[in-house]
């Protein structure tokens, strides 16, 4: 398939060669486990917040088997305040599956990766590409936005990945697998640093003159309203406060102690029950604890 954006690849690769951030999971010395951990942590979390936690995680658990050997609650504790702590449980589950099914080595095949707990299409493709140099279309939010603008001429992509988007992404992949893997991370970096959601720096973009959205005058997005996330006062904030008490405790804490973390009793009880249902907390004879 020939697409309008076929001329993007060379300029983006050249730009990435000059502007790529030095991130530990991108280094030649990085293990596949480091890449997998980074992909779990980077979901909806900025790089700046992930860097120290990723470093501490790899220092404590340098292999999947090291993590799998500890209770899942230790993963939740080490996750700290990255947010969306169910990712910690899923990463622990993935580590256990890697130990039990793959001899402790992060698999290279997409289907094997996709079968791991907590690993969806994007993460499987990203790990296959970035850790193992495989040729896969890697469609995260940044990549989808770059391709929507540069190829389709719209400011933002649809809410969910479409067949048309995947066709464009796959058509742009270089034939050589290592180059395809570099292209995938390069276009992702371009979306993170230049073709950002708000205030894109089109004047600094290596494909600005060829970008369909830019050359059309950057027409405003006219699709369905984009979701606006709030945090203060939400159940998500309440759950985070309750988990912070559990993380900081040496063992189980009386349920009454959780009242110090959140005043609204109805909301607090609802959020505690949701933590228990998600497996992020357990009831013991002594109170509430991490699993």
CATH of the domain at 252: 1.10.10
**Predicted pLDDT of residue 188:** 97
Closest CA to 244 of 89, 85, 92, 49: 85
Tell me how far apart the alpha carbons of residues 288 and 256 are, in angstroms, rounded to a whole number.
10
Domain assignment present for residue 86? The answer is no
Please count the other Cβ atoms lying within 10 Å of the Cβ belonging to residue 6.
13
Domain assignment present for residue 222? The answer is no
67-102 burial string, b = 16+ CB within 10 Å, else e?
bbeeebbbbbbbbbebebbebbbbbbbbbbbbbeeb
Domain assignment present for residue 259? The answer is yes
- Specify which residues 289 forms β-bridges with: 282
The pLDDT tens digits of the residues spanning 146-179 come to: 999 999 999 999 989 999 999 999 999 999 999 9
**Predicted pLDDT of residue 5:** 55
Question: Residue 259's domain spans which residues?
Answer: 235-289
Tell me how far apart the alpha carbons of residues 261 and 269 are, in angstroms, rounded to a whole number.
12
Tell me how far apart the alpha carbons of residues 177 and 182 are, in angstroms, rounded to a whole number.
9
Domain assignment present for residue 280? The answer is yes
In the chain, which residues have pLDDT < 70?
A: 1-6
Domain assignment present for residue 257? The answer is yes
Tell me how far apart the alpha carbons of residues 212 and 207 are, in angstroms, rounded to a whole number.
10
DSSP-assigned letters across all residues of the chain: ---GGGGGHHHHHHHHHHH----GGGSTT--HHHHHHHHHHTTTS-HHHHHHHHHHHHHH-SSHHHHHTS-HHHHHHHHTTSS-THHHHHHHHHHHHHHHHHTTSPP-SHHHHHTSTT--HHHHHHHHHHHH--------HHHHHHHIIIII--SS--SS--HHHHHHHHHHS-SSHHHHHHHHHHHHHHHHHTS-SSS--GGG-TTGGG-HHHHTT-PPP-SSPPP----TTSHHHHHHHHHHHHHHSSS-B-GGGGGGT-S-HHHHHHHHHHHHHHTS-EEETTEEE--
**Predicted pLDDT of residue 224:** 79
Domain assignment present for residue 117? The answer is no
Tell me how far apart the alpha carbons of residues 25 and 131 are, in angstroms, rounded to a whole number.
9
Domain assignment present for residue 249? The answer is yes
Domain assignment present for residue 212? The answer is no
Give the residue numbers marked as catalytic.
39
Q: How many residues does the chain have?
A: 291
Number of compact structural domains in the chain:
1
Measured CA angle at 232 (ends 231, 237), to 5 deg: 70
Residue with tokens 């973390």: 261
Could you tell me the two tokens for 31?
Answer: 């293990």
Tell me how far apart the alpha carbons of residues 124 and 171 are, in angstroms, rounded to a whole number.
19
């Amino acid at each position: 398939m020939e697409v309008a954006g076929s001329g993007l690849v060379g300029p983006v690769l050249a730009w990435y060669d000059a502007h790529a951030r030095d991130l530990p999971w991108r280094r030649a010395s990085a293990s596949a486990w480091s890449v997998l951990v980074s992909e779990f942590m980077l979901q909806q979390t900025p790089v700046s917040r992930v860097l120290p936690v990723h470093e501490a995680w790899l220092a404590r658990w340098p292999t999947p088997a090291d993590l799998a050997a500890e209770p899942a609650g230790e993963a939740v504790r080490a996750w700290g305040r990255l947010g969306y702590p169910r990712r910690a449980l899923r990463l622990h589950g993935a580590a256990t599956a890697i130990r039990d099914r793959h001899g402790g080595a992060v698999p290279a095949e997409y289907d094997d990766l996709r079968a791991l707990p907590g690993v969806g299409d994007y993460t499987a493709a990203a790990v296959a590409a970035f850790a193992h140099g495989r040729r896969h279309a890697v469609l995260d939010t940044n990549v989808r936005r770059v391709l929507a603008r540069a190829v389709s001429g719209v400011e933002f992509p649809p809410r969910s990945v479409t067949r048309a988007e995947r066709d464009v992404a796959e058509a742009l992949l270089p034939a050589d697998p290592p180059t395809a893997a570099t292209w995938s991370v390069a276009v992702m970096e371009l979306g993170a640093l230049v073709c950002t959601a708000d205030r894109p720096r089109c004047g600094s973009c290596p494909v600005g003159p060829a970008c369909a959205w830019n050359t059309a005058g950057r027409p405003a997005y006219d699709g369905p309203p984009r979701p606006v996330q709030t945090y203060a006062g939400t159940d998500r904030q309440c759950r985070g406060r309750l988990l912070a008490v559990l993380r900081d405790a040496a063992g189980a804490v009386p349920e009454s102690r959780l009242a110090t973390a959140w005043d609204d009793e109805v909301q607090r009880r609802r959020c505690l029950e949701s933590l228990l249902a998600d497996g992020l907390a357990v009831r013991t004879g002594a109170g509430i604890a991490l699993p």
